[in-house]
Amino acid sequence: MKTDLRTLTLPLICLVAFNLLPQIALRPAWSSALCFVFLGYRAFLAYALLPIPPRWVLWLAQGVVGVAIWQHYNSIFGDEAAGTLLTLLTCLKTYELRSKRDFFVNSMLCFLVLMSNLLLDQSLILTLYVIADVVLIMSFLYALESETFSWAGMRGYLKPTFVLTLKAVPILVVCFILFPRFSTGFGTGAQTVGKTGITDELKPGSVSELINSEELVFRAEFSGSEMPPRRALYWRGAILDRSQGLNWTREKSTERQSPSYASQSAASVEIFLEPGFDKFLFSLDSTRTISFPSDFNRMRITKRPGGTFELISPLQNRERYNLENSLEGEALSIVGDLKKYVQVSEKPTSEMAKLLSQLKGAETAKTVSNVLGHFRGNGFEYSMQPPAARDIDEFIFKNKVGFCEHYAASTATMLRHLGVPARVVVGFQGGTPSFLENYISVRGQDAHAWVEYFDADGERWRRIDPTAQVNPARLNLGSQSYLQGQESWLPTWLMDSNNAYYRMRAVVDEFEASWIGFLVRFDLARQKELLAKFGMEETLFRALPVFLAMALVLILAVLYFIEAQRREKLTREERIYQEMLLTLKKWKIERLPSDGPLTLMDKVRARHPTMADQVEPIMEGLILARFGATQLDREQMDSLSRSVRNLRKLSVR
């Protein structure tokens, strides 16, 4: 076998390039571009059989990369910085492929790059990609062991890797279940990349820029209770209590209150929150408290005045938490300091004052319904791209076109002018039910803003949604329906395909949700729970490594047994030859390992001269089949096989 390590260079570069694909979405653009420049030039060198640059150029490049990382992240040790650095260095490593070990190290680096990707994203699509990538890297290691590579022989590397992968699966499962989870005690200090999400500030445009995003924010699973109608689902993120006309912000609160703990009630909602969307923990009106399964985050929950929850700092990993709900709107019954909710930054203009005096009712409820009624029938419109409004007057009297943030902000400000305590709530409304309707996915496009006012008679806050006055469909069908409505000038078939797209997205999302659900849920507690089901007691938990080792030994034995039972596939002529050898054995012709067909022929002649005439054509046929220039056709093979069988039937003295 001729071996040549150089034939492995191009495949390795392709492998590294394939490994980098998810980076394009996850890493800064300059680093991805740099990676592909490095790899492209290296591939060119390999293809043109040019020498690689001297070592000092490589060192220089490594230095430049380090400086660039430092410039970008101000560190080289953070998760992000280290991941990007690792990626770039893996690309540069392709410039020093001297020995077999270098190739091996480079493919190991590919695994680490893969790991750094998984830190940033764990979606289903990345998981599928990881599987493909791992199989390719393994195939490369396989080719590396044979020290030569040919593109035509790809199947020869992939097939054994598939077999290897299949055999590896039971071990993977056993390890996953039995490997004792432990904490390394290292914090995960670095910040993840901020995604667009709701903030604790509302101004014209802040919600409508979210509405185009399909990015998943969280999934909500309703256990033990039926899923409420979508129009009733107002996911409260933050309460904004400082009015500046159309702009609303919230007071900096130093108040830090840990939520009280109740035993897990039957009717709860499980939320799987995606990382990177600030620190808000979305909850419903009815939420009494929330609980976190992970100790780390439980300590970091803060309850804000008004009954919303958030973390001290944004979430690093996908996490789940439970909403403990009660039937009464618990969150809305917290009264708080009402004086703060009637403050306004400036006095109303004369035009506004005139309008307000018209809207003022005898009691709070009347006032509120008057204000909401004003948006109905006075030429107000709902739009994704409303004209810019500098202040509340411009919106109310001139433009009359706005998005939810315009309506919510102006309604709350007007109520305050009228002496009704009011506040703006930002969060999400509704969500998309999953394909199987067992959970709801809330995406960027479901972002919403609405108003809560204080009802002095009921001694509680009440929710109103001014946007619903203008665009009722927004609540029933979600913003998505509105977006579709906007595209109604499109041809029907495209609308249909658009629907098909949403349906397909729901199916994919379903798979993804169950995958994510599994991944996020499996922690130390779940591990204990699962093992308890198999009858393992808590006290035995410390002996997990022993069980793991035992299970591995057992699997080893089984696999070894399977390997020993495996029959090699023989070609047709080899099978016929085997049969011929058995015949000769029956004739008591001794065969040495080195005896070929010709030698055996001689032995037959010596021992059974009468049979020689019949054996000779078979042996010649077999020699021709194995070493002949052309392959024998089916018929010739059949006739060979037949004559051997006939020969076996003959009895020989």
| Binding residues vs other proteins (CB under 8 A) | 1, 3, 100-101, 104-105, 108, 111-112, 114-115, 118-119, 122, 127, 130, 134, 138, 141-142, 144-146, 160, 164-165, 167-172, 175-176, 179, 181-184, 186, 188, 294, 316-317, 518-520, 522-523, 552, 555-556, 559-560, 563-564, 567-570, 574, 577-578, 593-594
**CB 405 to other proteins: min, Å:** 36
CB of 615 to other proteins, least distance (A): 19
The number of beta carbons lying within 10 Å of the beta carbon of residue 15 is 20
SS3 437: coil
Burial group, residue 417, by CB count within 10 angstroms (0-12, 13-18, 19+): buried
Residue whose tokens read 């009347």? 366
In whole angstroms, the minimum distance from the beta carbon of 130 to other proteins comes to 7
Of 104, 108, 130, the closest CA to residue 117 belongs to 130
Q: CB 651 → other proteins: shortest distance, Å? A: 28
Nearer to other proteins by C-beta: 242 or 318?
Answer: 318
CB of 325 to other proteins, least distance (A): 27
Find the farthest-apart pair of alpha carbons in the chain and give their distance in angstroms, rounded.
Answer: 128
Please report how close the Cβ of residue 598 comes to other proteins at its closest, in angstroms: 15
Taking the complex as a whole, how short is the minimal distance between the CB of residue 336 and other proteins, in angstroms? 36
Nearest residue (CB) to other proteins, 139 versus 479: 139
Tell me the helices (H) and strands (E) count for the chain, helix number first. Answer: 22, 18
Residue 151 DSSP symbol: G
Rounded Cα distance, 603 and 600, in Å: 5
Residue 171 token pair: 């071990």
Report in angstroms how near the CB of residue 163 gets to other proteins at its nearest: 9
Closer by beta carbon to other proteins, 171 or else 495: 171
Identity of the residue, 184 or 385, whose beta carbon is nearer to other proteins in the bound complex: 184
Distances, alpha carbon 46 to alpha carbons 5, 39, 91, in Å: 12, 10, 14
Q: Would you say 85 or 449 has its CB closer to other proteins?
A: 85
Smaller CB separation from other proteins, 504 or 557: 557
Cβ of residue 403: shortest distance to other proteins, in angstroms? Answer: 38
Shortest reach from residue 618's CB to other proteins, in Å: 17
Query: With respect to other proteins, which residue has the nearer C-beta, 196 or 317?
Result: 317
CB 455 within 8 A of CB 461: yes
Length of the chain: 653
Nearer to other proteins, 188 or 476 (CB): 188
493 vs 627, beta carbon nearer other proteins = 627
CA distance 396 to 391: 9
What burial letters (b/e) apply to 579-594, b meaning 16+ CB within 10 Å?
A: bbeebbeebebeeeee
The β-bridge partners of 424 are: 240, 451
Residue 106 or 479: the one with the smaller Cβ distance to other proteins is 106
- Closest contact distance (angstroms) between CB of 167 and other proteins is 5
Q: How far is the CB of 448 from other proteins (least distance, A)?
A: 32
- The token duo for 217 is 């924010």
Q: Tokens 């029907």 belong to which residue?
A: 492
Helix 612-627 and helix 634-649, axial crossing angle in degrees, nearest 10: 150
Bridge pairing between strands 401-402 and 381-382: parallel
Beta carbon of residue 559, minimum distance to other proteins (angstroms, whole number) = 6
Question: Considering beta carbons, is residue 14 or 108 the nearer one to other proteins?
Answer: 108
Quick check: helix, strand or coil at residue 243? Answer: strand
Tokens of 480: 């998505």
Q: How far is the CB of 562 from other proteins (least distance, A)?
A: 10
d(CA 239, CA 246): 15
Instruction: Please answer whether residues 38 and 94 qualify as being in contact, where contact means their C-beta atoms are separated by less than 8 angstroms.
Output: yes
Q: How far is the CB of 13 from other proteins (least distance, A)?
A: 20
- CA 628 – CA 284 distance, rounded (Å): 80
Q: Identify whether the C-beta of residue 202 lies closer than 8 Å to the C-beta of residue 426.
A: yes
Q: Distance between CA 14 and CA 477 in Å, rounded?
A: 46
Strand, coil or helix: 306: coil
Q: How many whole angstroms from its chain centre is CA 237? A: 24
In the three-class reduction of DSSP (H, G, I as helix; E, B as strand; rest coil), residue 12 is classed as helix
Closest to other proteins by CB, 86 vs 232, is 86
Q: Which is nearer to other proteins, 186 or 534 (CB)?
A: 186
| Residue with smaller CB distance to other proteins, 1 or 48 | 1
Say if residue 93 is exposed, middle or buried (CB neighbours under 10 Å; 0-12, 13-18, 19+): buried
246 HSE (CA, 13 A, CB side): 20
What is the nearest approach in angstroms of other proteins to the Cβ of residue 536? 19
Which DSSP state fits 491? Answer: -
317/484 with CB nearer other proteins: 317
Please give the Cα distance from 250 to 305 (Å, whole number).
11
Nearer to other proteins, 175 or 543 (CB): 175
Nearer to other proteins by Cβ, of 47 and 560: the residue is 560
| Rounded least distance, CB 103 to other proteins, Å | 10
- From 465, 345, 344, 351, select the one nearest 397 (Cα to Cα): 351
- Neighbour-count burial for 332-346, b at 16+ CB within 10 Å, e otherwise: beeebeeeebbeeee
